[in-house]
Amino acid sequence: MKNGIKTRMLVHNILFNILKHNLNIDDEKFSRSLENYSQRDKNFIINICLTTMRRQFHINYIISKYVKKNNKIHQKILLMSAICQIIYLNFKEYAVIDTSVEIAKQLKLYHGFINSVLKKISKDKKYLSDIEIKYEVLPTWFRNEVDNLNKSEKNIFLSNFYKKPNLHIVFNSEIEFKKFEKKIVKTSQNSGFLQNDKINYFNLDSFNKGTWWVQDLSSFIPINSISSTLKDKKVLDMCAAPGGKSFQAIAANAKVFSNDKNKKRLKILRNNLVRLNFDAKISNMDATNLNINEKFDLVIIDAPCSGIGTIRRNPEILFKSEKPNIGKLNKIQKKLLSESKKHLNRDGYILYMVCSFLYSETISQINSFLVENENFNLIKLTTPKMLIEHFNINDYFLTLPSNYKGYNFDGYFAALMASKN
């Protein structure tokens, strides 16, 4: 009981700080608070936090049916995490209710009210688990940013954004891939979803030996579509960490220069290069003002963005009380596109990517760049044959959070542009 209260109180505090102070789930503050917990307890805490945020709109709807007055923030969060555990994680109702009542007492909330509401919800659990939400419950800022989506696309997002992501991995070679073939759902000649992604992949020998790396399917496709052209080409990855796109280029026998402004993320990239036995030049510079004397055949821009395409991995994006500063991010994206031209060989290519599907971060950025730079034109990207039905690519690559054979992948955008100099 005591441990249950302790872990659930930490869940409460994490959710409170994300909502009130707009922190991210991977904030160092939370990492420190988890240090003294067992791996099992850490997984328990993070699972409740992530699922509560993923299901926040469903949970808020449930609360509205049982609570008529406006909830103060601590009461709201306590109810949300408890409902998540009862309805969506199928934890034992009595354990959730009892610990929630004890937490209410510690927070000096009306614990009798918490007890009464949760018992009513527990009795109605069977039909509450299947409720659906309407598009209009999503934040106004988000709906305004994706106003270009049609009704079908909005429904795709609505039916997918709250689902748990799956683990997609990419292999160094087809030879290594074949050793793993029966354990994955294939997405290309050297990639696929792990059928059992509940295992700790850091403990797998194949991971530690550098046989493969983790990379979402949607972010894998753009580089994969041009990998056959990269042999012996010079590639600059402007915002490279943690390294997935650089690794794809290296595996395709390109000569890669990986840059990232964030030292912490760059350390992860370095460690991955060692593990994979890959080689690349590394730099730690602001990508909007690179001091590089080389020219490249391909410049990759995996630009900072809202991250809305990764909403299942980062559900705090729609949970925070403040919206992302899209305007600031748009300016950075524009600067990166402008900077990329300076480092491009004659007849080189720019590959612009964001883990977003917001119009201002995707199509709008590319349209503006092409208007201002008439010596560039769009080049159509392709997909592995087995994925054609799932990815409808026009002049650029754009997908919402969706699934392939029941395995979930992120929303993503990519545009390949060729210099006509």
Q: How many CB atoms within 10 Å of residue 389?
A: 9
Q: Is the pLDDT of residue 170 over 90?
A: yes
Q: Tens digit of pLDDT for each residue in 120-159?
A: 999 999 999 999 999 999 999 999 999 889 999 999 999 9
Q: Which of 400, 381, 380 is nearest to 390 (CA)?
A: 400
**Confidence category of residue 375, pLDDT binned at 50, 70, 90:** very high
Q: Give residue 361's pLDDT.
A: 97
- 284 and 266 Cβ atoms separated by less than 8 Å: yes
Mind listing the pLDDT tens digit for each residue in 221-277?
Answer: 999 999 999 999 999 999 999 999 999 999 999 999 999 999 999 999 999 999 999
| CA distances for 171 relative to 178, 210, 248, angstroms | 10, 9, 9
Count of C-beta atoms within a 10 Å radius of residue 132: 8
Task: Report the alpha-carbon distance of residue 419 to residue 365 in Å, rounded.
Answer: 17
Helix axes 93-106, 2-21, angle to 10 degrees: 70
The token pair at 214 is: 């983790």
- Model-wide pTM > 0.85: yes
Rounded mean pLDDT of 370-387?
Answer: 87
**Per-residue pLDDT tens over the stretch 42-55:** 999 999 999 999 99
pLDDT of residue 384: 73
- The mean predicted confidence, pLDDT, of the chain is 93
pLDDT attached to residue 351:
98
Residue 194 burial by CB count (10 A; 0-12/13-18/19+): exposed, middle or buried? buried
92 contacts: CB under 8 Å, gap ≥ 6: none
Cβ 177 vs Cβ 169: under 8 Å? no
Cα gap 52→56, rounded to integer Å: 6
What is the β-pairing status of strands 212-214 and 234-237? Answer: unpaired
Amino acid present at 376: F
Instruction: Name the 3-class secondary structure at 122.
Output: helix
**Separation CA 103–CA 109 (nearest Å):** 8
Q: Which residue has the tokens 């390109």?
A: 254
Q: CB–CB of 161/311 below 8 Å? A: yes
Whether 376 and 420 have beta carbons less than 8 Å apart is answered as: yes
165: how many CB neighbours lie within 10 A of its CB? 20
Q: For residue 368, how many other CB atoms are within 10 A of its CB?
A: 15
3-state SS class at 386:
helix
Pairing of strands 296-302, 234-237: parallel
**311 and 318 Cβ atoms separated by less than 8 Å:** yes
> What domains can be seen in the chain, in order of their start residue?
2-128 (1.10.940.10), 168-419 (3.40.50.150)
The DSSP secondary structure of 153-199, one letter per residue, reads: HHHHHHTTTTSPP--EEEES-HHHHHHHGGGEEEEETTEEEES-TTS
Say if residues 211 and 171 touch (Cβ distance below 8 Å). Answer: yes
b/e sequence 286-314, b meaning 16+ C-beta within 10 Å: ebbebeeeeebbbbbbbbbbbbbbbbbbb
Query: Would the CA dihedral through 148, 152, 158, 162 be positive or negative?
Result: negative
- Cα–Cα dist 171/177, whole Å: 6
The answer for residues whose C-beta is within 8 angstroms of residue 38's C-beta and 6 or more apart is none
Dihedral over Cα of 17, 326, 361, 257: its sign: negative
Question: Model confidence over 186-227: pLDDT tens digits?
Answer: 998 899 998 887 777 777 788 888 999 999 999 999 999 999
